[in-house]
Structure formats: structure tokens, C-alpha cells
């Protein structure tokens, strides 16, 4: 466990490990990392995560959406060169206001809020609150099992929705 200085209202300091979660638009968790020690800055984590997803998918992804912490000139340049639409939230409010005029950027930024909910679902619904695993290795394993269980739950829900939407024709 680490002492995490978050600087958020009502939670200046928290105890735990930093967690990075990346999901697709359907809510499947495509990438996750938990850090034993203090995590690098978010801007340094982004491209490592994107590269892992590209490697797993065997192709580039269409878009990347993040909060302000992940923004950097280097990340923007790399994503632009890869023909990946990047909706990295800019740090400057005036730049954000300008970018929100782009319909795709605005839609992706609105969708980003679902990732915060996904993290809460993972932590509270699949890992337990508080996480009872003692020691970093056990927390890391619990996270992997939690992500697997979460994704199976999402896939089952997607299948169920598809079955309801497309009824099977009756045999003659």
C-alpha cells in the first residue's frame, strides 16, 4: 500500500495502489495496470497502454479518449502520426472549449465519464470494497481475476441483448 496524495476535495490523501484502466466503447476492459510503487505521470503511461492494446488487437485503434492528466505534446504527435483520433482532454480550458466544437471530440469526451463508472463497478462489484487481498502480488492477482470476471459479465450481457434483439426463427 502506498500513500496517494490526490488533492481532491474530501480525499486529500488516500491509501492504496494506483490503478490504470482502459476500456472500449462497449465497456470491456482492454488494458489494466496496478503499480506497486508510485506510478509515473499519466502522460507517461498513455502510450504504453495504447501500444499494449494495439499489440493485443493486432491493429491500431480508432480513437483514444483521456482526462487532462494524460495530455502531452508527445502523446498528441504519436497519436496523430498513427491516424488514431485523439480526444485527450487539453489542460487549458480555452483549448478545451475550442476542441468541444468538434462533434466527434465532444461525443468522445462525454462518453469518457463512463470509464470513471467502469472503475467504480470494477472496484466495488468485482474486487470488493475494501479489497481483502493482502500484499501487492495478491492485489495484482485479484485485479486480474476481477477484470476477467467483469469482462465475462459484460460479454454475457452483450450476448443477452443480441439474443433479445434478434429472435431465432421457429423451425417449420
pLDDT, tens digit (0-9, with 9 covering 90-100), for 68-81: 888 888 988 888 88
- Helix, strand, coil in percent for the chain, rounding step 5: 50, 20, 30
Mean predicted confidence (pLDDT) in 109-114: 85
Mean predicted confidence (pLDDT) in 93-113: 91
User: Is 135 inside any structural domain?
Assistant: yes
DSSP 9: T
pLDDT at position 143:
93
Q: Cα-flanking dihedrals φ and ψ of residue 7, to 5°?
A: 70, 20
pLDDT, tens digit (0-9, with 9 covering 90-100), for 125-158: 898 877 778 888 998 999 999 999 999 999 999 9
Mean predicted confidence (pLDDT) in 91-105: 92
Residues paired with residue 34 on neighbouring β-strands, in sequence order: 19
Q: Which one, of 118, 41, 106, lies nearest residue 75 by Cα?
A: 41
User: Is 75 inside any structural domain?
Assistant: yes
C-alpha cell at 102: 468538434
The number of distinct structural domains making up the chain is: 1
pLDDT at position 48:
92
Is pTM beyond 0.75? Reply is yes
Identify whether the C-beta of residue 108 lies closer than 8 Å to the C-beta of residue 100. Answer: no
Distance in Å from the first CA to the final CA of the chain: 63
User: Is 159 inside any structural domain?
Assistant: no
Domain range for 104 is 2-152
- Better pLDDT: 111 or 13: 111
- Better pLDDT: 52 or 112: 52
Identify whether the C-beta of residue 146 lies closer than 8 Å to the C-beta of residue 133. Answer: no
pLDDT band at 167 (very low <50, low <70, confident <90, very high): low
User: Is 162 inside any structural domain?
Assistant: no
pLDDT, tens digit (0-9, with 9 covering 90-100), for 9-67: 666 666 677 889 999 989 999 999 999 888 888 889 999 999 999 998 888 788 999 88
User: Is 45 inside any structural domain?
Assistant: yes
User: Is 171 inside any structural domain?
Assistant: no
pLDDT at position 2:
57
The CATH number that applies at residue 100 is 3.30.420.10
User: Is 163 inside any structural domain?
Assistant: no
User: Is 160 inside any structural domain?
Assistant: no
Amino acid at each position: 500500500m502506498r500513500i496517494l496524495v490526490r488533492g481532491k476535495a474530501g480525499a486529500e490523501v488516500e491509501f492504496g495502489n494506483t490503478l490504470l484502466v482502459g476500456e472500449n466503447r462497449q465497456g470491456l476492459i482492454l488494458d489494466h495496470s496496478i503499480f506497486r510503487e508510485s506510478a509515473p505521470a499519466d502522460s507517461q503511461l498513455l502510450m504504453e497502454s495504447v501500444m499494449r492494446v494495439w499489440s493485443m488487437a493486432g491493429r491500431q485503434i480508432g480513437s483514444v479518449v483521456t482526462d487532462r492528466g494524460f495530455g502531452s505534446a508527445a502523446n498528441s504527435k504519436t497519436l496523430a502520426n498513427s491516424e488514431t483520433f485523439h480526444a485527450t482532454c487539453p489542460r487549458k480550458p480555452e483549448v478545451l472549449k475550442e476542441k468541444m466544437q468538434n462533434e466527434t471530440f465532444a461525443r468522445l469526451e462525454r462518453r469518457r465519464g463512463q470509464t470513471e463508472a467502469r472503475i467504480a463497478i470494477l472496484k466495488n462489484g468485482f474486487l470488493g470494497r475494501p479489497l481483502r487481498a493482502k500484499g501487492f502480488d495478491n492485489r495484482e492477482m485479484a485485479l486480474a481475476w476481477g477484470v476477467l470476471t467483469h469482462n465475462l459479465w459484460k460479454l454475457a450481457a452483450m450476448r443477452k441483448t443480441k439474443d433479445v434483439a434478434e429472435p431465432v426463427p421457429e423451425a417449420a
